[in-house]
Structure 1
Amino acid sequence: MNYLYFDIETIPAQSPEAHAAIAENVKPPAAMKKAETIAAWEQNDRAQAVQDAIAKTSLDGVYGHICCIGFALNDMQPDTTYLDSYSATGEATILRDFFTAVDDLGRGNNAPICIVGHNVVNFDIRFIWQRAIILGVRVPHWFPRDPKPWGNDAFDTMTAFAGQRGTISMDRLCQALGMDGKSDVDGSMVGQMWAEGRHQEIAQYCRDDVERTRAIHKRMAVAFGEAA
C-alpha cells in the first residue's frame, strides 16, 4: 500500500461576481420585524454580515478556492503546490500539478494509493472534487470519488480516533499523543494570511500539517497492528 499524506488550504471567494452573489443572499435576522430596526441593521451591520458570509466560503467548494495542496508519498519529504495570486486558471493548475506530481512519485510502483488526512473524507477530498468539477479538471483514477472513513482508498485520522460522529482537532490529538501540535498558525488564519500575501508561510504550514498527519497515522498503525 502507498500512503499519500495529504492536506489542503482553502480561501474565501475571490471574484467580485461571487462577492455580489453572496451579498445578495445576506438578509436581516429573521427576528427583525420592524422597518426601523431593519433599516438600522442595513446601515450599521449589513457590511460586516456580508464580510462574514464571504469569509465562511473558505469551507464551501462552490465559492471557495484551494490555495495550497500539501502531500507526501510514504516517507518522502512533504511537497506543496500553491498559488501566489488568485485566478481560476491558477487554481486549476495547482490541481493538475498535484495530480501529476503524485503520478510521477508513484511511477513504477503499482501498489494502490490510500489517502491519509485529518477530516480528509468529509472535507479535503470532497472540496477537491467540487473544485475539479467546477474548473473542468480531470481527476485521476487513484483519487477516491466517495470514500468511507476506513476504506482502502482513504484513512481519516480524525474519524479513526473520534468515531464517525465525533470530532477532534489535529492540534488536540497531537497533544494527546505527546506530539508537537500546531504553533501560532491554524486553518482559521489562512484566509487573512492569503490576503496579506503570506503565501509561502501558508505552504510551510500545509507541509507541517502533512508531517503531523503522517506522525499520527504511524502511531495509529502501531495500535492497530498494521505497518505504515
Structure 2
Amino acid sequence: MAHVFLDIETIAETTDFANYSKKSVREARYCGESSEAPEVQYQQRANLHAEFGRIVCISCVLRTQGGEIKKISFCSDDERGLLSDFFEMINKAGVSVLLGGHNIKSFDIPFICKRAIINGLKIPKALDYGTLPAWKMGTVIDMMEMRQRSGYLRTGLELLCLCLGVPSPKQSLEGSQVSDLYWNSYQTSAGTEDHRATLQTIASYCEGDALASLLCYEKMEGIEVAEPIVEEKKEEKNQTSLLVFSESDYLTWSKKEYMSTYKTFDDLMAWLKQNYSGVEAYERQLRDHRAKYELGMSF
C-alpha cells in the first residue's frame, strides 16, 4: 500500500474586499478585536479559512517501490476543475493508498472537503471523515500529530525538518506569501505564459512541503531509502514532477499553442503528450474540437 503525502496552497477568495459579498460576516467574526484594518487582516489570513479563501494548488508526493520520488500537482485558476481532477485520481486509487501530510487532519483535508461542498462536488471516500474529530482519522498519517506525541506543543514543518536533518521547503517562498504572489500575477498577466510560470512556482513550492512531510515520516519511522532522495537535474524534472491543469486550461492553452505553432492537430497532441502529464484524459474532448481548431474558432 502506497503512502501519498499531500499539501495544499490556499489564497484569499478575492482582492476586492470593499465589494466582497462576505465582508460584513468576515468583519463581525474576525476583525472585532484586531487593530489591523479589516482589508489588511483579510488579505493576510483569509487563506486560513475555507469560507473566505480557496485552493490554488494540491500536490501529491510518493515514493515508489524502486525508491523513486513521484510528484503530481493540480494547479489552476479554476478551483472546481483542479478539485475534480484531484478527486478523480483519489477515486481511481481507492483503498490502495494511505494519505499523509503535515497538519493534514486539521487543515488540508477539512479545507479540501469544505471547498468541495462549496463547489458542489462529491467528497471522495478517502477524504470523507464526516464529523469525526482529527484524532479519530486513523488511516491518515499526520506528521504534526506524530511529532506532538499527545503533548501540548505543536511543531511546524520547517522546525521539524531542521530537527530531523531534512532540507527545508521554505527557502524561496512561504505559505503566507502565496496569496499575494498569485493575485499579483493573475491581475497583471492572467492567461499568459508569465502567469503559468507563477502557477509552476506555486506548484513547486507545494510539492516541496509534501516531499518534506514524506521525508520526515521516513526519518521518524526509521525507513531506510537506498535510492537518491531527489533528482536535482532541472532538465529531467518532468520525469518526476508532473503538472496537471484542468480541462478548461488545456483547451484554452492548447488552442493558442496550436494556432501559433502547430500545423496539424496530431502535431499538437504529440507535443502535449511529450511535455504534460494527464493530457491523454482530454484527448477525446480535444479531438471533438478539431474542426474548430482548424477553422481558428473559439470554444
TM-score relative to the length of structure 1: 0.77
Gaps in structure 2 of 5+ consecutive residues = 186-197, 224-299
* Mean CA deviation greater in 62-71 or 15-24: 15-24
- Corresponding position of 2:182: 194
CA distance in 1 between counterparts of 2:32 and 2:60 reads 42
Q: Is 1:177 matched with 2:161?
A: no
Q: Secondary structure of the residue that 2:173 maps to in structure 1?
A: coil
Q: Is the 8 A contact 1:149 1:160 kept in 2?
A: no
Match runs of 1:42-57 below 5 Å: 48-57=37-46
The Cα of 1:185 is off from its aligned counterpart by 1.1
Question: Given residue 27 of structure 2, which amino acid in structure 1 is its aligned partner?
Answer: V
Match runs of 1:99-138 below 5 Å: 99-104=87-92, 106=93, 111=96, 113-138=97-122
CA distance in 2 between counterparts of 1:157 and 1:54 reads 28
Identical counterparts, % of pairs: 25
Gaps in structure 1 of 5+ consecutive residues = 32-44, 224-228
The Cα of 1:20 is off from its aligned counterpart by 4.4
Q: Is 1:209 matched with 2:197?
A: no
Q: Is 1:156 matched with 2:149?
A: no
Q: Is the 8 A contact 1:22 1:53 kept in 2?
A: no
CA distance in 2 between counterparts of 1:116 and 1:68 reads 16
CA distance in 2 between counterparts of 1:158 and 1:139 reads 24
The Cα of 1:58 is off from its aligned counterpart by 0.3
- Corresponding position of 2:221: 221
CA distance in 2 between counterparts of 1:79 and 1:25 reads 34
RMSD: 2.7
CA distance in 1 between counterparts of 2:54 and 2:26 reads 20
Q: Is the 8 A contact 2:103 2:142 kept in 1?
A: yes
* Mean CA deviation greater in 71-80 or 180-189: 71-80
- Corresponding position of 1:36: none
- Corresponding position of 1:77: 70
CA distance in 2 between counterparts of 1:103 and 1:217 reads 24
- Corresponding position of 1:41: none
Q: Is the 8 A contact 2:74 2:82 kept in 1?
A: yes
- Corresponding position of 2:2: 2
The Cα of 1:12 is off from its aligned counterpart by 0.7
Question: Given residue 94 of structure 1, which amino acid in structure 2 is its aligned partner?
Answer: L
The Cα of 1:102 is off from its aligned counterpart by 3.2
Aligned length: 200
Q: Secondary structure of the residue that 2:165 maps to in structure 1?
A: coil
CA distance in 2 between counterparts of 1:128 and 1:175 reads 28
* Mean CA deviation greater in 121-130 or 189-198: 189-198
* Mean CA deviation greater in 54-63 or 70-79: 70-79
Please list the CA deviations of residues 18-37 of structure 1 after superposition, one character each: whole Å capped at 9, or x if unmatched.
72432565378669xxxxxx
CA distance in 1 between counterparts of 2:214 and 2:109 reads 17
- Corresponding position of 1:22: 23
Cα pair distance change 1:174/1:14, threshold 3 Å: same
